[in-house]
Structure 1
Amino acid sequence: MITCFDIGGTTIKAAVAHSATDIVSLGRVATPAHDFDAFADAIAALIAQGGAPAGAAIAISIAGVVDPATNVATVANIPCINGRALGPDLSAKLSRPVIVGNDADCFALAEAHAGAGKGFNVVFGVILGTGVGGGIIADGRLIRGAGGFSGEWGHATIVQTETQAWPHKIAHMACGCGQLGCTDTIGGARGLERLHAQIHGQTLSSLDIVFAWGQGDTQSTRTMTLYTELLAAPLALLVNVLGPDIIPVGGGLGNSPELVAALDAAVRPRILRKLDRPLIVPAQLTVDAGLIGAASLAYSEGVV
């Protein structure tokens, strides 16, 4: 029995986990973002509420990067833990083993253990949210890259500058990572909105673009056709490099089954392995993926 947490900039969600997939919610509290002692106290109170025995581990999913060599977390939206060796610091304060994972990695673990990736050897979990992210799972375990970076397919100057389905020149856009033309600049919700504005000179939300596409709107259909083509090339490269058996898609844009199906249809002809089944599929876990992912991280790493 352990306690697992899904921590964001505004809310801490917690659950008791009896296994990697058997969790019971403990509810949520506000995140003390600027006071580490208050942050640790909030976690301790939730542990006490769940009744985990003294010394039982805790597992955390967090929207940030954790360097596996130093345990230092980079978490922009929670200043009190940004730059800390979060696992060791919490472990010392709470007298419990602590394991911390990136939220995209925990999403991928959740899908591998209890969602669309269950039963497959290699799972690549894709996030199409505000931006683009991902996590790599092999034989039920997370692949932790050097510096905490793995599965970050959204970064590198890879976006093509001309499309074929609708002939169009695409200007490379600046990415928050400092490069130009990263997949992240067009792949997430903000990227889809930028792409639509670049093509049509019209400002629409990503939800409105996807909805209008479903209604047959000509401009949104053109945007989504280009968007699908632009994402298909880097996704196909990723498939050929990693060899995933399945790619569950989560995040806000992943809530559109039509978009996920369009990506699958665009990617499969571009990869070396020929499949007669969907490769890119909607994620199955939407509510508790962070908690299940955190629990899966702890149990798969033996931190129990």
Structure 2
Amino acid sequence: MITCFDIGGSAIKAATATAPDRLTHLGRVATPLDDFDAFAAVIANQVAAGDAPEGAAVSISVTGVIDPDTGVATVANIPCIDGRTLASDLSARLSRPVLVANDADCFVLAEAYAGAGQGQRVVFGAILGTGVGGALVADGKLHRGAGGWSGEWGHGTAVATEVSVPPYHLAHFPCGCGRSGCVDTIGGARGLERLHRTLHGTERSSLDIIQSWNSGDAAAAETVDLYVELVAQPLALVVNIIGPDIIPIGGGLSNSAELIGRLDEAVRAQILRKTDRSLLVPAKLTADAGLVGAASLAFSQGQ
């Protein structure tokens, strides 16, 4: 049995797990943001509450980036752990093995072990939330790139400028990473809203755009057509490079099965591999994805 945690900027959720999909919830506690002693105490108290055996591992999903070589965490929204070697620092406090991975990695682990990717050899998870993220699990193991940067298909200039939807030429938008033309600028919910504003000069939420599209609204349909064209191209390139068996889609935009279906058709039309089976599918796990992913991290490493 291990104790797993899903840690965000507002709350820490905890559970014990005897398998990736067998959780006993321990509740949630507000995340201490500026006091590492208080942060470590919350983790210790939840481990004690779960009554895990002495020496049993703790596994954590956290926002941010974990450098697999140094163990240093970059977590901007939780200052007390930003810049720390989080796993080793907590391990010293708890006298237990501690594993840490970021939330995107744990999302894909959860889908690979207990969700839409269960039983598949290569699972690439794409997150279409506020922005765009991703991660890769192959043969049951999380792939951690150098510096903790892997699966980040949302960054790097990859978005087309010549498109089939009027105005036919689309200028690249600046990205928070410092570049421009990143998939992150158009692929998430804010990106969909940006495209609609560019095409039609009006402010609408991503939810409203999707609902209007489903209701036959012509302006929303034009926005969705452009969105699918721009996002499918770089995602097809990812598929050609990685060769995933399946791509579970997470984040808010994955709630639209119709949108994911359109993206799936567009991606499969552009990849080298020819298949009639859907590659892009909505993620199966939602509320507990972080906890299931953290548990999957531990069990995949023999804890």
TM-score by length of 1: 0.98
1:269-303 residue CA offsets vs partner (Å, 9 max, x unmatched): 1000000111101101111111000000111022x
Amino acid at match of 2:161: T
Q: 1:203 and 1:109, CA in 2 relative to 1: closer, same or farther beyond 3 A?
A: same
1:163 offset after TM fit, Å?
A: 1.0
Give the 5 Å matches for 1:48-127: 48-127=48-127
Cα distance in 2 for partners of 1:109, 1:260 equals 20
Cα distance in 1 for partners of 2:191, 2:223 equals 11
- 2:13 is the counterpart of 1:16: no
Residue matched to 1:38: 38
Q: After alignment, is 76-85 or 16-25 more displaced?
A: 16-25
Amino acid at match of 2:289: A
1:84-124 residue CA offsets vs partner (Å, 9 max, x unmatched): 11101111111111100010110001000011101110000
1:167 offset after TM fit, Å?
A: 5.6
Give the 5 Å matches for 1:1-304: 1-165=1-165, 168-302=168-302, 304=303
Cα distance in 2 for partners of 1:174, 1:43 equals 39
Asked whether the 8 Å contact 1:166–1:225 carries over to 2, the reply is: no
1:168 offset after TM fit, Å?
A: 2.1
1:20 offset after TM fit, Å?
A: 2.3
Q: After alignment, is 162-171 or 223-232 more displaced?
A: 162-171
Cα distance in 2 for partners of 1:259, 1:176 equals 25
The secondary structure found in structure 1 opposite 2:52 is coil
Cα distance in 2 for partners of 1:301, 1:266 equals 36
1:162 offset after TM fit, Å?
A: 1.6
The secondary structure found in structure 2 opposite 1:83 is coil
The secondary structure found in structure 2 opposite 1:40 is helix
Q: 1:118 and 1:63, CA in 2 relative to 1: closer, same or farther beyond 3 A?
A: same
The secondary structure found in structure 1 opposite 2:100 is strand
Cα distance in 1 for partners of 2:93, 2:65 equals 21
Give the superposed CA RMSD: 0.9
The secondary structure found in structure 2 opposite 1:120 is coil
Cα distance in 1 for partners of 2:41, 2:276 equals 52
Amino acid at match of 2:108: A
Asked whether the 8 Å contact 2:167–2:199 carries over to 1, the reply is: no
Q: Give every structure 1 segment of 4 or more consecutive aligned residues whose post-TM-superposition deviation is greater than 3 Å.
A: none
The secondary structure found in structure 2 opposite 1:162 is coil
Cα distance in 2 for partners of 1:165, 1:222 equals 7
1:166 offset after TM fit, Å?
A: 5.0
Cα distance in 1 for partners of 2:46, 2:106 equals 20
Cα distance in 2 for partners of 1:275, 1:87 equals 42
Cα distance in 2 for partners of 1:253, 1:163 equals 22
How many residues matched?
Answer: 303
In structure 2, list runs of 5 or more residues that go unmatched: none
1:165 offset after TM fit, Å?
A: 5.0
Amino acid at match of 2:197: A
TM-score by length of 2: 0.98
Amino acid at match of 1:148: G
Cα distance in 2 for partners of 1:155, 1:83 equals 23
The secondary structure found in structure 2 opposite 1:168 is coil
The secondary structure found in structure 2 opposite 1:234 is helix
Cα distance in 2 for partners of 1:290, 1:109 equals 9
Asked whether the 8 Å contact 1:196–1:223 carries over to 2, the reply is: yes
In structure 1, list runs of 5 or more residues that go unmatched: none
Asked whether the 8 Å contact 2:66–2:148 carries over to 1, the reply is: yes
Cα distance in 2 for partners of 1:139, 1:133 equals 21
The secondary structure found in structure 2 opposite 1:27 is strand
Asked whether the 8 Å contact 2:66–2:100 carries over to 1, the reply is: yes
